[in-house]
Amino acid sequence: MSETETLAGETVDRAEPLHEAIYQELRARLSRGAFAPGESLSLRSLATELGGSVTPVRDAVWRLTAEHALSMGATRRITVPEMDQTGIVELMRARTLLEPEAAARALPFITANHRQAMAEANDAMNEALRQGDIVGYMASNHAFHFVLYRACPSNVVVPMIESIWVRFGPFMRLMFPDAVNDLDLSDRHGDALKALETGDEAGLRAAIAADVQDGLDWMIKRI
Protein backbone atom coordinates (compact mmCIF):
# COMPACT_ATOMS: atom_id res chain seq x y z
CA MET A 1 0.00 0.00 0.00
CA SER A 2 1.25 3.50 -0.71
CA GLU A 3 1.24 6.36 1.77
CA THR A 4 -1.73 7.92 -0.02
CA GLU A 5 -3.97 4.89 0.22
CA THR A 6 -6.45 4.77 3.06
CA LEU A 7 -7.96 2.10 5.21
CA ALA A 8 -11.50 3.03 6.31
CA GLY A 9 -10.71 6.69 5.79
CA GLU A 10 -7.32 6.75 7.52
CA THR A 11 -3.88 7.08 5.94
CA VAL A 12 -1.88 3.88 6.19
CA ASP A 13 1.87 3.90 6.75
CA ARG A 14 3.72 2.30 3.83
CA ALA A 15 5.84 0.30 6.29
CA GLU A 16 2.85 -1.24 8.09
CA PRO A 17 1.80 -4.63 6.70
CA LEU A 18 -1.77 -4.82 5.49
CA HIS A 19 -2.70 -7.56 7.96
CA GLU A 20 -1.49 -5.39 10.85
CA ALA A 21 -3.35 -2.34 9.55
CA ILE A 22 -6.58 -4.34 9.29
CA TYR A 23 -6.09 -5.77 12.77
CA GLN A 24 -5.54 -2.31 14.25
CA GLU A 25 -8.57 -0.92 12.41
CA LEU A 26 -10.87 -3.68 13.66
CA ARG A 27 -9.46 -3.29 17.15
CA ALA A 28 -10.14 0.45 17.05
CA ARG A 29 -13.69 -0.10 15.84
CA LEU A 30 -14.39 -2.51 18.67
CA SER A 31 -12.93 -0.06 21.19
CA ARG A 32 -15.19 2.71 19.89
CA GLY A 33 -18.35 0.61 19.88
CA ALA A 34 -18.71 0.37 16.11
CA PHE A 35 -20.08 -3.15 16.52
CA ALA A 36 -22.90 -4.22 18.82
CA PRO A 37 -22.85 -7.23 21.16
CA GLY A 38 -24.13 -10.29 19.32
CA GLU A 39 -23.56 -8.76 15.88
CA SER A 40 -22.42 -11.17 13.16
CA LEU A 41 -19.47 -10.20 10.98
CA SER A 42 -18.63 -11.45 7.50
CA LEU A 43 -15.02 -11.93 6.45
CA ARG A 44 -15.86 -11.07 2.87
CA SER A 45 -17.81 -7.94 3.78
CA LEU A 46 -15.03 -6.75 6.09
CA ALA A 47 -12.43 -7.41 3.39
CA THR A 48 -14.40 -5.36 0.87
CA GLU A 49 -14.92 -2.53 3.32
CA LEU A 50 -11.32 -2.42 4.53
CA GLY A 51 -9.73 -2.76 1.11
CA GLY A 52 -7.97 -6.07 1.56
CA SER A 53 -8.40 -9.75 0.79
CA VAL A 54 -10.09 -12.27 3.05
CA THR A 55 -6.76 -13.69 4.29
CA PRO A 56 -5.51 -10.66 6.30
CA VAL A 57 -9.02 -10.11 7.66
CA ARG A 58 -9.17 -13.73 8.79
CA ASP A 59 -5.77 -13.35 10.47
CA ALA A 60 -6.99 -10.24 12.29
CA VAL A 61 -10.17 -12.00 13.39
CA TRP A 62 -8.17 -14.92 14.77
CA ARG A 63 -6.01 -12.53 16.79
CA LEU A 64 -9.07 -10.72 18.14
CA THR A 65 -10.69 -14.05 18.97
CA ALA A 66 -7.62 -14.96 21.03
CA GLU A 67 -8.09 -11.65 22.88
CA HIS A 68 -11.76 -12.52 23.54
CA ALA A 69 -12.80 -9.46 21.55
CA LEU A 70 -14.52 -11.61 18.90
CA SER A 71 -15.83 -15.16 18.96
CA MET A 72 -15.89 -17.83 16.29
CA GLY A 73 -18.26 -20.79 16.47
CA ALA A 74 -17.89 -24.30 15.13
CA THR A 75 -19.42 -23.15 11.85
CA ARG A 76 -16.81 -20.37 11.58
CA ARG A 77 -19.51 -17.80 12.25
CA ILE A 78 -17.89 -14.65 13.62
CA THR A 79 -19.75 -12.64 16.23
CA VAL A 80 -19.14 -9.86 18.70
CA PRO A 81 -19.35 -11.62 22.08
CA GLU A 82 -22.23 -11.01 24.39
CA MET A 83 -21.52 -10.73 28.08
CA ASP A 84 -23.52 -11.06 31.25
CA GLN A 85 -23.65 -8.48 34.01
CA THR A 86 -20.86 -10.20 35.95
CA GLY A 87 -18.46 -9.97 33.02
CA ILE A 88 -19.26 -6.33 32.36
CA VAL A 89 -18.79 -5.43 36.02
CA GLU A 90 -15.41 -7.21 36.05
CA LEU A 91 -14.20 -5.24 33.04
CA MET A 92 -15.40 -1.95 34.50
CA ARG A 93 -13.76 -2.69 37.84
CA ALA A 94 -10.52 -3.31 35.98
CA ARG A 95 -10.98 0.10 34.35
CA THR A 96 -11.57 1.65 37.77
CA LEU A 97 -8.26 0.25 38.97
CA LEU A 98 -6.18 1.06 35.90
CA GLU A 99 -7.51 4.29 34.40
CA PRO A 100 -7.15 6.62 37.40
CA GLU A 101 -3.59 5.33 37.75
CA ALA A 102 -2.89 5.90 34.05
CA ALA A 103 -4.30 9.42 34.31
CA ALA A 104 -2.13 10.19 37.34
CA ARG A 105 0.97 8.88 35.57
CA ALA A 106 0.16 11.02 32.54
CA LEU A 107 -0.29 14.21 34.58
CA PRO A 108 3.41 15.29 34.54
CA PHE A 109 3.48 14.94 30.75
CA ILE A 110 0.30 16.86 29.96
CA THR A 111 0.76 20.01 27.88
CA ALA A 112 -1.59 22.75 26.76
CA ASN A 113 -1.95 20.89 23.47
CA HIS A 114 -3.15 17.78 25.29
CA ARG A 115 -5.67 19.80 27.27
CA GLN A 116 -6.94 21.51 24.12
CA ALA A 117 -7.34 18.19 22.30
CA MET A 118 -9.22 16.75 25.26
CA ALA A 119 -11.47 19.81 25.54
CA GLU A 120 -12.27 19.61 21.83
CA ALA A 121 -13.05 15.90 22.15
CA ASN A 122 -15.32 16.63 25.11
CA ASP A 123 -17.15 19.36 23.19
CA ALA A 124 -17.59 17.01 20.24
CA MET A 125 -18.88 14.28 22.54
CA ASN A 126 -21.47 16.60 24.11
CA GLU A 127 -22.61 17.77 20.68
CA ALA A 128 -22.92 14.17 19.49
CA LEU A 129 -24.98 13.43 22.59
CA ARG A 130 -27.35 16.27 21.77
CA GLN A 131 -27.63 15.10 18.15
CA GLY A 132 -28.16 11.46 19.06
CA ASP A 133 -25.01 10.55 17.11
CA ILE A 134 -23.77 7.34 18.70
CA VAL A 135 -20.77 6.98 16.36
CA GLY A 136 -19.56 10.51 17.06
CA TYR A 137 -20.19 10.12 20.77
CA MET A 138 -18.18 6.91 21.03
CA ALA A 139 -15.28 8.21 18.95
CA SER A 140 -15.05 11.46 20.91
CA ASN A 141 -15.26 9.71 24.28
CA HIS A 142 -12.49 7.33 23.21
CA ALA A 143 -10.34 10.25 22.03
CA PHE A 144 -10.79 12.12 25.32
CA HIS A 145 -9.58 9.20 27.41
CA PHE A 146 -6.69 8.07 25.25
CA VAL A 147 -5.24 11.52 24.60
CA LEU A 148 -4.87 11.60 28.37
CA TYR A 149 -3.58 8.08 28.98
CA ARG A 150 -1.16 8.03 26.04
CA ALA A 151 0.50 11.23 27.21
CA CYS A 152 2.44 8.99 29.57
CA PRO A 153 5.17 7.00 27.79
CA SER A 154 4.07 3.75 29.45
CA ASN A 155 4.24 0.45 27.62
CA VAL A 156 2.50 -1.47 30.40
CA VAL A 157 -0.60 0.24 31.78
CA VAL A 158 -1.96 1.82 28.59
CA PRO A 159 -1.88 -1.42 26.53
CA MET A 160 -3.76 -3.13 29.36
CA ILE A 161 -6.44 -0.42 29.23
CA GLU A 162 -6.62 -0.69 25.44
CA SER A 163 -7.26 -4.43 25.69
CA ILE A 164 -10.14 -3.80 28.11
CA TRP A 165 -11.72 -1.17 25.84
CA VAL A 166 -11.57 -3.60 22.91
CA ARG A 167 -13.74 -6.00 24.90
CA PHE A 168 -16.17 -3.60 26.52
CA GLY A 169 -16.47 -1.05 23.69
CA PRO A 170 -19.47 -2.79 22.10
CA PHE A 171 -21.33 -2.62 25.41
CA MET A 172 -20.86 1.15 25.55
CA ARG A 173 -23.50 1.30 22.82
CA LEU A 174 -26.02 -0.04 25.33
CA MET A 175 -25.71 3.00 27.57
CA PHE A 176 -26.22 5.54 24.79
CA PRO A 177 -30.05 5.74 24.95
CA ASP A 178 -29.87 6.42 28.68
CA ALA A 179 -27.25 9.11 28.13
CA VAL A 180 -29.42 10.86 25.55
CA ASN A 181 -32.28 11.00 28.04
CA ASP A 182 -30.06 12.17 30.91
CA LEU A 183 -28.41 15.39 29.77
CA ASP A 184 -27.91 16.69 33.32
CA LEU A 185 -25.14 14.16 33.91
CA SER A 186 -22.27 15.21 36.15
CA ASP A 187 -19.47 16.64 34.04
CA ARG A 188 -16.73 14.17 34.92
CA HIS A 189 -14.70 15.13 31.86
CA GLY A 190 -14.93 18.78 32.85
CA ASP A 191 -13.74 17.88 36.34
CA ALA A 192 -10.79 16.00 34.83
CA LEU A 193 -9.86 18.98 32.65
CA LYS A 194 -9.93 21.30 35.66
CA ALA A 195 -7.72 18.91 37.61
CA LEU A 196 -5.26 18.75 34.72
CA GLU A 197 -5.07 22.52 34.53
CA THR A 198 -4.31 22.87 38.25
CA GLY A 199 -2.13 19.78 38.55
CA ASP A 200 -4.54 18.19 41.03
CA GLU A 201 -3.67 14.49 40.97
CA ALA A 202 -6.27 13.47 43.56
CA GLY A 203 -8.97 15.39 41.71
CA LEU A 204 -7.95 13.81 38.41
CA ARG A 205 -8.05 10.31 39.86
CA ALA A 206 -11.47 10.99 41.37
CA ALA A 207 -12.89 12.40 38.13
CA ILE A 208 -11.76 9.44 36.02
CA ALA A 209 -12.95 6.90 38.60
CA ALA A 210 -16.36 8.61 38.78
CA ASP A 211 -16.60 8.68 34.98
CA VAL A 212 -16.02 4.93 34.80
CA GLN A 213 -18.56 4.33 37.57
CA ASP A 214 -21.16 6.42 35.72
CA GLY A 215 -20.62 4.22 32.66
CA LEU A 216 -21.06 1.08 34.73
CA ASP A 217 -24.28 2.40 36.27
CA TRP A 218 -25.68 3.15 32.79
CA MET A 219 -24.73 -0.27 31.48
CA ILE A 220 -26.38 -2.10 34.35
CA LYS A 221 -29.62 -0.27 33.54
CA ARG A 222 -29.48 -1.58 29.98
CA ILE A 223 -28.78 -5.27 30.58
Sequential pLDDT tens for the chain (223 residues): 444 343 434 444 545 788 899 999 999 999 998 998 999 999 999 999 988 889 999 999 999 999 999 998 877 789 999 988 899 889 999 999 999 999 999 999 999 999 999 999 999 998 988 888 888 888 999 999 999 999 998 889 999 999 999 998 898 877 666 555 554 456 899 999 999 999 999 999 999 999 998 888 777 776 6
Output the pTM of the full model. Answer: 0.84
Could you tell me which residues come within 8 angstroms of residue 26 by beta carbon, excluding any fewer than 6 positions away?
46, 50, 57, 60, 61, 64
Architecture of domain 6-79: Orthogonal Bundle (1.10)
- CA-based nearest residue to 32, from 184, 141, 115, 131: 141
Question: Residue ranges per domain, the chain?
Answer: 6-79, 85-222
Query: Is the Cβ–Cβ distance between 107 and 114 less than 8 Å?
Result: no
Instruction: Please say whether the structural domain 85-222 has been given the CATH code 1.20.120.530.
Output: yes
- What's the confidence (pLDDT) of residue 51? 84
What amino acid occupies position 100? Answer: P
Query: Is the Cβ–Cβ distance between 64 and 198 less than 8 Å?
Result: no
What amino acid occupies position 90? Answer: E
Rounded Cα gap, residues 28 and 32, in angstroms? 6
Q: What is the pLDDT of residues 160-194, one digit of tens each?
A: 999 999 998 898 877 666 555 554 456 899 999 99
Query: Is the Cβ–Cβ distance between 106 and 148 less than 8 Å?
Result: yes
